[in-house]
Structure 1
Amino acid sequence: MSKKEIDEKKVKETVDEVTEAAAAVTKAPDKFRKLKYGTMFYVIIALVIAVVVILNIMVNVFAKRSPMKIDITPDNRYELTDESINAVKALDKDVDIVVTNTRDYFESLGNYWESYYTSNFGVPAEVPYEMIPELLDKYSVYAQQGKGSINVKYVDLDKDPDAIAKYKKNYNGDIQRGSIVVASGDRVRVLNETDVMNMLAADQTAMRSQQLKFLFTGESTLTSAITSVTDAHPVKVAFVKTMNGLAVYDEQTYANIVQSFESELFAKNGYDTTDIDIAKDEISPEDYDMVVLLAPSVDFTEDIIKKFSDFLYNDGKYDRNMVYAPDVSKTDLPNISEFLADWSIKVENNIILDDTNAVQTSSQIILSVSDSEAVGTLPNDRLPIISQYTRELTPISKNNEAIVKEVLKSSAESYTADITKDKSEYGEKGERDAAILSQKQHSEEFAVYTSSLLVLGSPTMANPTFLQQTSSVNNANVLVNMMNTMTGKESSIAVPDKNLQTSFIAPTSKQLKRIYVVVVWIIPFIIAAVGVAVLLRRRNK
């Protein structure tokens, strides 16, 4: 091979090497680009997962301390009132709330009643029993902001009948399906299935006006149950219901009122109540702090009257209380009258009427507070206090140590009607006493012990309609405050009931669930899918 040929061969080899090097350089960016996009793909995926995990942890932690759901209903049905929030924040004990059914039970209950009202009244109705589990969640959340806690649990008694065994030990009745058990330590309060269903009911006042509206009383019931089981010093009340097995009051007229007095006024506000037979049972000061006698239709024997006197005297130590309200029509009760006279109180044989300061009829009078110390501070002292068929009360002078306070009065425009006359006889206009508090005291060194007798002119002050309408009527607040002042009980909480409104803007609970699914699941899934598709496409370019 000539030198020329050798040189040409070397040049060719050199050109080939340069060409290959150039080709390699040309291909390198493609490799680097693929490596770059592939790495970025996995980095982004890892970052997204990390952010989601961190956000989820943060949301869960925050959700335990503050509500995450926003209530856009016009009546704030899914939010607790300030009264309930403050009450659970003030807890210093742990509370268990056990619902003896699944969470879905409440939605099924609402569907049933919606069908019922639609079938029977011909109008669509929203009966949102799902409010109850939503509010239970809020109780648990707000309690975390205090020293105590509220643990909510749903149990299926068919699958786990032993879940309520420990609560049965401290509860005398049965705990059945559909109940709500509220417990703290050895104190147990059970809201049975009827109590739960009664948390939401048609507003009878609205129905009389051909309107279908609903009143929710569940929050006040639940808050009361929570505060009652955590009360360190519960007040025990004996309710005189029978004498030798027979009702002491006219059941047809007063059964509903007496039940309301016991459940809505006392039990609902943290008092421990017990029904007693006054002829068979003892009312020992060691067992009870207060005794209640409403609308007796017959007089009592001297022995029974002595039970009341001995209870209040308490072997000279006093520190016991009693509430009495007369039947509107019973006037011949000499032994009871003598007992009241010993406390410087007389129930007159007439009722108070008022044509000006009344609601609907002259017998449904509006009262005012005449002794603010006995009543205490009211959330809104401008709301009316209503009483029906009210007997006039009179403080009388008697040689005893009783201190008499006139607590509630009728207006200066009121007058009286004698109930013993066939022909109506009316008294002159002027203020009349509708509630009197009489007290007897015993001093021991620097301590003063007081026994109190509160006489109401009518038991209808505890009419369930009045007690439930806490936002428009002051009966519940006034009566509860008087009981608390008498017994020295810590102030109870009067939670206003909710008048549920119908709104064409606010979504229903079912619509909210659909919105939740779309916003929380469907939209994020679509965004994630589009993002992954874009990344894959860029990676494969």
Structure 2
Amino acid sequence: MAENEEIKNEQSAGEIPEETVAEETPETGEAVQEKTAEQPAKEPEKKKKKSIFNNKKFKYGSLSVVFTIMFIAGIVLINVILNLVLDRFHVEADLTSGSIFTLSDETVDYISTLDDDISIFVTADKDELKGAGQLYAQTVEFLDKMAGLNSRFTVKYVNLLQDPDFTNNYVETLQNYQVIVQSAKTGRYRILSINDFMKYKLSDGNTYDYSEASMYVSYGGLTVTDYSSSAESQLVSAVMSVSLDDPTVVTFLTGYGESDSSALETILKDNAYVTQTVEIERVEAVPDNTDILVIHGPTKDYSLDSITKVDTWLSNDGKYGKDLVFIATPDPAETPNLDEYLAEWGIEVGKGYVLQFDENHAYYTGSPLPVMQDIEMKTETAYYEAMKKSSGTSFIGYYVRPVIKLWENEGNLANVTVASAYGEKCIMFPFTADENWAPAEDSFSAYDVIVEASKVQFADNNEPIYSKIIVCGGDQLFTDYFTTASNYSNGEAALSLFDANSESSGKSISIVEKSFAAETYQIERSTQIAIGITFAVIIPIAIIVIGILVWLRRRRL
């Protein structure tokens, strides 16, 4: 009984449950009867159901589902955030071997700091462009990146069929696959053709645009050896030319059968100049905003009234500071009024072509006579320095006429040779020569082909101020063939005639064209084996091991 009393005391203290004691403590029959008499009979208890939430399988399975859902939701959220960031800042990696979708550092610096609202309109569907080929996809990529660099740079794609009224904003006839670059600050705009961004290098070593390359491949027997894109350089040049506050304005005069000047105009536009065309007979005077005037290969003689307008503009009310670029026609045109006016400045354009008989500098391509030759830019001139910055100092002359200096200095007039044929083994082939003409050895001489004639007057501070006429011996110097061919420096020579006398000099950005025919990478045999083992053996085995470990872990739950 003493033992039972001790057990009751422990039960009352709550240390051991009664049921446990009754089951585990051996008792006599007396004790059992006594306990039964003391306590009323209990109904048999129903077995308690365990909560499903306490089930290990449910617990771990539910957690697994929850974690999976949270993981997927997190991945989706991160993806959304990253897409928003990428759309805003256009952050991505260019994995192409030639980095054809990457802007140059010069472009990034310029666009990032541009203080102007630039609107870009592309007359095409964006998705269609991206799928049309590398050139078009590159253009879309460049525009997106420019917009990401500067919030004031906007790009909009326009469907001309769905929005025909858009064409009313421009005097030009718009076509598909064009890019219109427009400045809110100046109101100026430029229209570019995406198709013109592609340049083709042919087997003759020169680079041409699509139309020229097609002609030489189809009819000249040449083949394409490389092709590249000038999209970046053309887009940046367009932005620069429309956004400059005070660009140099070059006016091309027409009305007298002038030759095609589009190649020269393109060079100027690509280098931040603004060009305009004026029919001189239909205006009272040369436009006041003109900084440089161009007469490009007239085949008819100027009237005295037109010459007076040009001379009035050059004199600038006696203040000078104006420049005229006169480019002669290679045709034997009779232009007595123009000839007389040039003579007043001490210049005469010869009546024939310069032939080069030094075999080191002559080319007989396409002609039995050496009318194609090297031309040398003379040192100690601003033109030489302007051209020297971007290329060599020689270029190609083709059917070029001699430019003769009637004097070196006379009063306030001075004449300076800008460029000449190489050496003194040259002769002039006269326009009047017949089939029996032959050069006389004693008639060989040196010939100038570009000459600067200038008039000077002095300002109050004794600073000299010049008005100039730069006379070129032929428009073939600056045709599209020579100015775009990569083997020649005619484009740089043409630009130097303007850069040497212009505030726009140096405002362009030199950007290397990106080749689409990039060299493929070669992987060594040992590297190929290592890559094969990694992806075919190591990674699959690692995945299998991880799967087995996960399966064993879950099996024990």
Q: TM-score, normalised by structure 2?
A: 0.71
Structure 2 vs 1, CA of residues 484 and 465 (structure 1 numbering), >3 Å: closer, same or farther? same
Cα distance in 2 for residues equivalent to 1:358 and 1:37: 88
How big is the shift at 1:176? 4.8
Q: Is the 8 A contact 2:300 2:335 kept in 1?
A: yes
Match of 2:251 among 238, 241, 248: 238
Distance across 2 between alignment mates of 1:289 and 1:35: 85
Deviation at 1:326, TM superposition (A): 0.9
2:428 alignment counterpart: 417
- Measured in 2, the distance between the counterparts of 1:274 and 1:432 equals 33
1:289 alignment partner, one of 284, 288, 291: 291
Cα separation, 1, equivalents of 2:286 and 2:77: 62
Matches within 5 A, 1:303-452: 303-330=305-332, 332-354=334-356, 355-358=359-362, 361=365, 362-371=370-379, 372-375=381-384, 376=386, 378-382=388-392, 384-397=394-407, 399-412=410-423, 414-420=425-431, 421-422=433-434, 423-425=437-439, 431-446=446-461, 448-452=464-468
Give how far 1:504 is off. Answer: 6.7
In 2, the alpha carbon distance for the partners of 1:414 and 1:63 equals: 64
SS for the counterpart of 1:129 is: helix
Tell me the equivalent position of 1:3.
Answer: 30
Residue 478 of structure 1 is matched in structure 2 by 493
1:339–1:79 CA distance, 2 compared to 1 (3 A): farther
1:411 and 1:236 map into 2 onto residues whose CA distance is: 33
Secondary structure at 1:228's aligned position in 2? helix
Letter of the aligned partner of 1:465 in structure 2? Y
8 Å Cα contact 2:391-2:492 kept in structure 1: no
Q: Is the 8 A contact 2:377 2:393 kept in 1?
A: no
SS in 1 for 2:454: strand
Moved more, 394-403 or 315-324: 394-403
**Structure 1 letter corresponding to 2:153:** I
Change (3 A) 1:426 1:332: farther
Q: How far 1:234 sits from its partner (Å)? A: 2.4
The 1:379–1:485 alpha-carbon spacing in structure 2 relative to 1, beyond 3 Å, is closer
Counterpart pick for 2:144 among 118, 137, 140: 137
Q: Which residue of 2 aligns with 1:302?
A: 304
The yes-or-no answer on 1:96 pairing with 2:94 is no
Is the Cα contact below 8 Å between 1:352 and 1:363 reproduced in 2? yes
Give 2:196's aligned residue.
198
Distance in 2 separating the partners of 1:465 and 1:499: 21
- 1:413-454 CA-to-partner distances (Å, cap 9, x unmatched) read 651232233314367656532222233233333365432222
- Secondary structure (helix, strand or coil) at the match of 1:487 reads coil
Answer yes or no: is 1:267 the counterpart of 2:269: yes
Q: Report the CA distance shift for 1:34/1:382 in structure 2 as closer, same or farther (over 3 A).
A: farther
Structure having the higher Rg: 2
| Per-residue deviation, 1:314 | 1.3
Give, in whole Å, the separation in 2 of the partners of 1:60 and 1:358: 61
The answer for the alignment partner of 2:532 in structure 1 is: none
Paired letter, 1:466: F
Cα 1:178/1:62, change in 2 over 3 Å = closer
- The equivalences for 1:73-222 within 5 A come to 73-74=97-98, 76-81=99-104, 84-85=107-108, 87-106=110-129, 128-141=135-148, 143-144=149-150, 149-160=152-163, 168=169, 171-185=170-184, 186-191=186-191, 195-200=193-198, 201=210, 203-204=213-214, 208-212=220-224, 214=227, 216-222=229-235
Secondary structure at 1:308's aligned position in 2? helix
Alpha-carbon spacing, 1:57–1:210, altered in 2? closer, same or farther (3 Å): same
Partner of 1:114: none
Letter aligned with residue 271 of structure 2: N
SS at the partner of 2:360? coil
Displacement of 1:70 in angstroms is 1.0
Q: Is the 8 A contact 2:188 2:243 kept in 1?
A: no
Report the AA paired with residue 316 of structure 2: N
| Structure 2 letter corresponding to 1:425 | P
2:330 aligned partner, one-letter code: V
* Maintained 8 Å contact 1:87/1:227: no
CA deviation digits over 1:388-427, x for unaligned, max 9? Answer: 1111223332634133332223322651232233314367
Distance in 1, matches of 2:34 and 2:412, equals 140
Contact 1:411 1:430 in 2 (8 A): no
Does structure 1 retain, via aligned residues, the 8 Å contact 2:291–2:322?
Answer: yes
Contact in 2 for aligned 1:350/1:416 (Cα 8 Å): no
Number of equivalent positions: 468
1:238 and 1:275 in contact (8 A); partners too: yes
Asked if the contact 1:437/1:454 (under 8 Å) is kept, the reply is yes
Change (3 A) 1:312 1:161: same
Query: What displacement does 1:369 show?
Result: 2.5
Q: Deviations over 1:326-383 (max 9, x none)?
A: 1123264232122222223222234233332245643222223214523426454337
Cα drift, residue 29 of structure 1 = 11
Please tell me the residue identity of whatever aligns with 2:504.
K
> Alpha carbons of 1:380 and 1:278: their partners in 2 closer, same or farther (altered >3 Å)?
closer
Determine the C-alpha separation between the residues in 2 that align with 1:44 and 1:482: 71
CA change 1:267–1:380 in 2 (3 A) is closer
SS of the residue aligned with 1:386? strand
Distance across 2 between alignment mates of 1:489 and 1:28: 83
| Structure 1, 360-369 or 291-300: larger mean CA deviation | 360-369
The residue aligned with 2:539 is: none
Task: Identify if the C-alpha distance between structure 1 residues 235 and 53 changes in structure 2 by more than 3 Å, giving closer, same or farther.
Answer: same
Q: Which residue of 2 aligns with 1:462?
A: 478
Deviations 1:192-211 (A, max 9, x none): 6xx33333326355663442
- In 2, Cα distance between equivalents of 1:539 and 1:81: 58
Shift in Å, 1:325: 1.0
Q: CA deviation at 1:183?
A: 0.7
The Cα offsets for residues 61-97 of structure 1, whole Å up to 9 and x where unpaired, read as 46755752415255x5434456644543452222111
- Contact kept in structure 1, 2:354 and 2:429, CA below 8 Å: no
Q: In structure 2, how many angstroms separate the alpha carbons of the residues matched to 1:237 and 1:389?
A: 26
The alpha-carbon deviation at position 240 of structure 1 amounts to 2.0
User: What is the CA RMSD across the aligned residues, in angstroms?
Assistant: 4.2
What is the alpha-carbon distance in structure 2 between the residues aligned to residue 223 and residue 61 of structure 1?
A: 25
Say whether 1:489 aligns with 2:492.
Answer: no
Question: What whole-Å deviation, never above 9, does each CA across 1:219-246 have from its counterpart, x for those lacking one?
Answer: 4432222111111112323222224xxx
